[in-house]
């Protein structure tokens, strides 16, 4: 598929993306800037059978993660059975004690999961990270597809590609399924959030109401949207795009000014659904990631379909030995960091940096995981009119209603720097559409 007509329409596509304001926000030197998200017209293409395999594995993984969260905030069997050490759970920054014993509407915690995968040169897919709190990015390939179809209809006549624009319907379905009765709201921290475009775009496309914390209030154990005339409308589901700690200053971070006081009490009483459930961070912690294949076996009694990147926990003596012996071959990740930060490739450190890092690792073994560096399969992008290979990952989205559904697309992010593995938009990465072939 070297001659996709769409790739000749890059200028038109980018003009339309600019027209529609497809941007993300970034803070540089304490100043907020909006930037267009660089788009490359060469799509990532996934064969139908290959996607069927991914779909099966993703559903399995998200179901196991959902079971894990329910268990951790419920019976804690996986800890009692010593499959996951309790210290990994309780010292995780994502574990929230107030969530203990709270069961969300219909028992769903992971309504919208973003699972980051990479494909190795051996064509094997590896899961790099599970994102179960507020994974973002689905809006970009969704609007990009709309624009690509407009710019090059012949491309979509020629290739049989699954239409990805139904994501809004999936999202609406996930929100409606758990709605406890009332309006559906997308809660945004506001205009100056990096993903504000996505928040407002999803609100428009799903017909949900976009609100900031100041527009919502709690009274008599229910959540209300207050309109300009002072009229209150009951809210039954909140797709919140703010972090757990800022959600409710009465329960979590008391300094939060973007949350809604007492919303967590409403949720605890089952009077509103929060998507995703607070406390999910315990399952997408980089340290817990190591245990996900074990969760699949433990909860579902199945062999995991998708594999993790080979990962070591320096917390375990045996793994620490391995990490020290093979230090130069590994990538080290700080479990508390996200967005491509806190990731260091050992072979790029100076001797002094290595010594310092190893000392830190020995002092705080729980803080890091170590992974084999996967030899990613490169994907071509167009740069200065030539095709050049770059590292790329795939964020697949799994939405949960009465059953998990994998969106037949995904956000492919690529590094624009030929020497970098970091694909995050906040660090200069771009994105591609992800085609899942329908035939």
Partner 1 sequence: MGIISVENLDRLFWLGRYSERVYTSARLFADSFDRMIDMDMDNYAAFCRQLDIPNIYSSREDFCSRYISDENDPNSIYSNLMRAYDNAIVLRNEIGSEPITYIQLSVYDMKKSKVSRAPLVGLQKVEDNILAFWGIVDDMIENENIRNVIKVGKRIERLDLYGRLQVNRESIVREVHRLAGRIARTNLHYDEKNLEELKKLAEEEQIDYDRVVTLVDTLRKD
- Footprint of partner 1 (CB under 8 A): 18-21, 183, 190-191, 196, 200-201, 203-204, 207, 209-212, 214-215, 225-229, 231, 233
> Helix, strand, coil % (nearest 5) of the chain?
35, 25, 35
**Closest CB to partner 1 among residues 48, 191:** 191
Least separation in angstroms between residue 32's CB and partner 1 is 11
Positive or negative torsion for Cα 278, 255, 197, 26: negative
User: Please, what is the minimum distance in Å from the beta carbon of residue 222 to partner 1?
Assistant: 15
In the complex, what is the shortest distance from the CB of residue 209 to partner 1, in angstroms, rounded to a whole number? Answer: 5
Backbone φ and ψ of 37, nearest 5°: -85, 115
Residue with smaller CB distance to partner 1, 46 or 186: 186
Cis peptide before 276 (omega within 30 of 0): yes
Nearer to partner 1, 111 or 209 (CB): 209
Q: How far is the CB of 228 from partner 1 (least distance, A)?
A: 4
Select from 400, 396, 408, 404 the least CA-distant residue to 176.
400
Judge whether 281 and 338 are in contact, CB under 8 Å: no
CA dihedral 162, 167, 173, 178 (to 10 degrees): 130
Question: How many angstroms from the chain centroid is the CA of residue 150?
Answer: 28
CA distance 226 to 248: 18
**CB of 177 vs partner 1, minimal distance in Å:** 20
Question: Which CB sits closer to partner 1, 58 or 216?
Answer: 216
Nearer to partner 1, 214 or 307 (CB): 214
Report the chain's C-alpha Rg in angstroms: 22
Of 216 and 423, CB closest to partner 1? 216
- Give the three-class secondary structure for 394: strand
Specify the residue, 242 or 283, whose C-beta has the smaller distance to partner 1.
242
CB 299 within 8 A of CB 68: yes
Tokens representing 340?
Answer: 């491509």
Q: Between 190 and 310, name the residue whose CB sits nearer to partner 1.
A: 190
The CB-of-212 to partner 1 minimum distance in angstroms stands at: 8
- Shortest distance (Å) from residue 84 CB to partner 1: 41
Number of H helices, E strands in the chain: 14, 22
Q: How far is the CB of 206 from partner 1 (least distance, A)?
A: 10
DSSP letter, residue 186: E
């Amino acid at each position: 598929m070297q001659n996709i007509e769409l790739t000749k329409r890059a200028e038109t596509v980018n003009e339309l993306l600019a027209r529609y304001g497809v941007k993300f926000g970034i803070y540089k030197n304490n100043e907020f800037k909006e930037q267009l998200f660089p788009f490359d017209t060469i799509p990532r293409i996934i064969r139908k059978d290959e996607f069927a395999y991914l779909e099966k594995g993703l559903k399995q993984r998200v179901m196991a993660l959902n079971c894990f969260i329910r268990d951790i905030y419920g019976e804690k069997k996986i800890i009692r059975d010593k499959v996951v050490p309790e210290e990994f759970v309780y010292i995780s920054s994502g574990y929230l004690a107030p969530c203990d014993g709270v069961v969300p509407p219909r028992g769903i915690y992971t309504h919208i999961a973003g699972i980051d995968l990479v494909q190795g040169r051996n064509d094997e897919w590896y899961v790099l990270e599970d994102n179960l709190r507020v994974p973002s990015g689905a809006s970009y390939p969704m609007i990009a597809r709309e624009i690509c179809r407009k710019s090059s209809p012949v491309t979509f006549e020629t290739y049989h590609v699954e239409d990805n624009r139904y994501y809004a319907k999936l999202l609406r379905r996930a929100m409606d399924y758990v709605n406890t009765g009332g309006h559906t709201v997308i809660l945004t921290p506001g205009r100056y959030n990096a993903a504000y475009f996505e928040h407002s775009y999803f609100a428009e496309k799903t017909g949900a109401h976009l609100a900031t914390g100041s527009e919502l209030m709690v009274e008599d154990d229910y959540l209300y949207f207050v309109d300009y005339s002072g009229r209150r409308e009951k809210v039954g589901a909140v797709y919140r795009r703010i972090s757990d700690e800022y959600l409710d200053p009465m329960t979590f971070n008391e300094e939060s000014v973007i949350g809604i006081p007492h919303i967590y009490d409403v949720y605890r009483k089952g009077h509103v659904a929060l998507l995703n459930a607070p406390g999910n961070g315990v399952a997408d912690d980089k340290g817990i990631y190591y245990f996900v294949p074990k969760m699949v076996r433990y909860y579902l009694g199945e062999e995991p379909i998708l594999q993790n990147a080979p990962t070591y926990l320096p917390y375990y003596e045996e793994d620490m030995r391995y990490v020290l012996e093979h230090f130069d071959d590994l990538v080290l990740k700080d479990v508390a960091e996200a967005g491509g930060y806190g990731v260091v490739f050992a072979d790029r450190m100076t001797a002094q940096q290595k010594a310092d890092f190893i000392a830190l690792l020995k002092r705080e073994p729980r803080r890091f995981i170590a992974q084999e560096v996967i030899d990613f399969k490169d994907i071509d992008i167009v740069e200065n009119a030539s095709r050049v290979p770059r590292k790329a990952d795939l964020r697949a989205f799994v939405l949960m209603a009465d059953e998990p559904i994998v969106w037949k697309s995904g956000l492919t992010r690529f590094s624009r720097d030929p020497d970098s593995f970091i694909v995050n938009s906040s660090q200069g990465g771009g994105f591609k559409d992800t085609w899942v072939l329908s035939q």
